[in-house]
Amino acid sequence: MESLLCLLSPATSKLSLISPSSSMAASATSFSSLSFASMASPPQRKTSTPRKRSSKLAKTPSPKLPTSNIDPNASSSVPPKKVLVPIGFGTEEMEAVIMVDVLRRAGAEVIVASVESQLEIEAAGGIRLVADTSISNCANEIFDLVALPGGMPGSARLRDCEVLQQITSRQAEDKRLYGAICAAPAVTLLPWGLLRRKQTTCHPAFMDKLPTFWAVKSNIQVSGELTTSRGPGTSFEFALSLAEQLFGESTANEVGELLLMHTADDLRGKDEFNEVEWSIDHKPRVLIPVANGSEEIEIVTIVDILRRAKLDVVVASIEKSVQILASRGTKIIADKLIGDASESIYDLIILPGEIAGAKRLHKSKVLKELLKEQGVAGRIYGAVCSSPAVLHSQGLLKDKKATAHPSVVGQLTNEVVNGAKVVIDGKLITSKGLATVTDFAMAIVRKLFGHARARSIAEGLVFDYPRA
């Protein structure tokens, strides 16, 4: 297949992809013939291009602190806002990754620091993340914000890190912003004495550990320099609140629009057509193919929620290395390479989105064959954000109703449903992505296991989910 070429039109800020050779099946529409609006950061900020990876697991980076994608035209006299997000074994991956993604979109220089002896950590749901640096290299840095993700035993690992305690205590003493979500307010900040005379919230399972007079049952609680929140399901609100405190309401609103948060508020939860049972008589096996440039929020959210539902989820890299660099700079280590993953049969294949990642998924011959077999066998498949275009290019949306990111839907020739976060048609499931991806994963759980299981998982996430 010929390589895909991208043409950026400065006048319209749209990516036009030149069509490859006409040898593709007549029933399939060329992915590269579609035009997409840029879904990256705000137009004035440039995004970095993922680096090429070797055939071996990439070596962990040097301790040098990373830089963010700040507008090069901005005045050099105004330094970027610097944010520390520490992670450890058992950190809740949705909370960490959503914070990092959102704050980088807002323009912050976000440093992800490991409190462990190595940079690679396994998060609470089994996703493996690679930090930018070690916490020891951050000891003498000054941060505009220190934001602690939760999860267990991740919050305890953060609590037991003396360097992080010193950094966060200094942050509070100097009246600079700090925050924590989920278990971290009760398990990490409370023992450090950093909740004194602060109204605080946390995950419902840990509320009884907070001082009764100061405990507040709210999704977001701002008390002076401290911001706290409840769980994975409130991570977007938490991250946007932090972005607003750093950059102002206008920037936070802009990022919220990019994440489709405001759009999601106006949409129905789910539309379903040609309803069939997703009946599987064994533990469902799911393949999540990933690539350099895939959207990390979507990867991590789908994997986290499906693993909470006890599905067997395999994350497979289509690159030469199992380590990929996601769209906002998060380093994720897949479970295996796509070639090894292709030896198994999957009940579901789900594609995460983002333009650059979707293009790379489209180029994978192994994935193309897996998707073809999935459709022929009548098994379940789906995609979020820009990746419905990958399914469209292979004829897998033919005679189907679907949805996708707003920049993609106008280019799809099948019947598009715009009024819902999630669209199910038979054994196809699609979503607009980003802030709607939790609804997408929850819809899969409900189709496989019923409302009661989905409701139980939603409560653990602290995600607003219908009772009936």
182 is catalytic: yes
Q: What is the C-alpha separation between 49 and 273, in angstroms, rounded? A: 39
Written as six digits, the tokens of 390 are 């990958």
From residue 16, give the alpha-carbon distance in Å to each of 259, 295, 355, 359: 22, 20, 11, 12
Order of strands across the sheet that contains 109-114: 133-134, 109-114, 82-87, 145-148, 177-181, 226-229, 220-223
Residue of 161, 182, 202, 385 with catalytic role: 182
CB 16 within 8 A of CB 35: yes
| CA dihedral (429, 6, 8, 49) positive or negative | positive
From residue 456, give the alpha-carbon distance in Å to each of 220, 431, 442, 464: 22, 22, 11, 11
In this structure, the strands spanning 177-181 and 145-148 are parallel
In this structure, the strands spanning 428-431 and 220-223 are unpaired
CB 339 within 8 A of CB 318: no
Q: What is the C-alpha separation between 16 and 109, in angstroms, rounded? A: 30
* DSSP line for 355-415: HHHHHHHHH-HHHHHHHHHHHHTT-EEEEETTTHHHHHHTTTTTT-EE---HHHHTT--SE
Instruction: Give the residue among 239, 211, 190, 60 at the shortest CA–CA distance from 137.
Output: 60
Q: What is the C-alpha separation between 421 and 439, in angstroms, rounded? A: 7
Q: Tell me which amino acid residue 368 is.
A: K
CB 124 within 8 A of CB 154: yes
Q: What is the C-alpha separation between 410 and 183, in angstroms, rounded? A: 42
* DSSP line for 399-448: T-EE---HHHHTT--SEE--SEEEEEETTEEEE--GGGHHHHHHHHHHHH
* DSSP line for 151-185: -TTHHHHHHT-HHHHHHHHHHHHTT-EEEEETTHI
Q: What is the C-alpha separation between 166 and 34, in angstroms, rounded? A: 51
Catalytic residues: 182
